Amino acid sequence: MESKSASKIFEALSSDVRLDVFRLLVKNAPDGLVAGDISRLLDIPATNLSFHLKALVQSGLVTVEREGRYMRYKASIPLMLDIIAYLTSECCSDNPECCRKFRRESHVDPCFLPER
């Protein structure tokens, strides 16, 4: 992944609302949710939500499919994993012991941080 692509993704997630929307879509992967359900679950007016969904779709983090008169939004799990890998690929200059120390100090469940 290039820095320019990563920056675009981080920019899309820099809003509290967009971060909440993306996390909700990740939780509901792989099926995603229709816009009305997202609006209801997050208590966001539809007009505001459409603005935020557009930014997420443009970043590539979210895809959209038409289902009759509804629009279904889905998180791009592969892109999410790519951005996580981009952030962690050069952690600790490939010093495994240092990485293990940071992993122990973090609040992340170890199942999400496999040993290298």
Phi, psi (degrees; rounded to nearest 5) at 16: -55, -45
The pLDDT of 4-11, averaged and rounded, is 95
Tokens of residue 61, six digits: 């983090």
pLDDT in tens, 12-71: 999 999 999 999 999 999 999 999 999 999 999 999 999 999 999 999 999 999 999 999
Nearest to 71 by CA among 62, 80, 79: 62
| CATH class label, 1-116 | mainly alpha
- The rounded distance, in Å, linking the Cα atoms of 47 and 52 is 9
SS3 (DSSP) at 44? coil
pLDDT in tens, 59-104: 999 999 999 999 999 999 999 999 988 988 888 887 878 888 888 8
Which residue(s) pair with 33 in the sheet? 73
| Whether 12 contacts 52, CB under 8 Å | no
Q: Where are the domains of the chain?
A: 1-116
- The rounded distance, in Å, linking the Cα atoms of 75 and 33 is 9
- C-alpha count within 13 angstroms, C-beta hemisphere, residue 84: 9
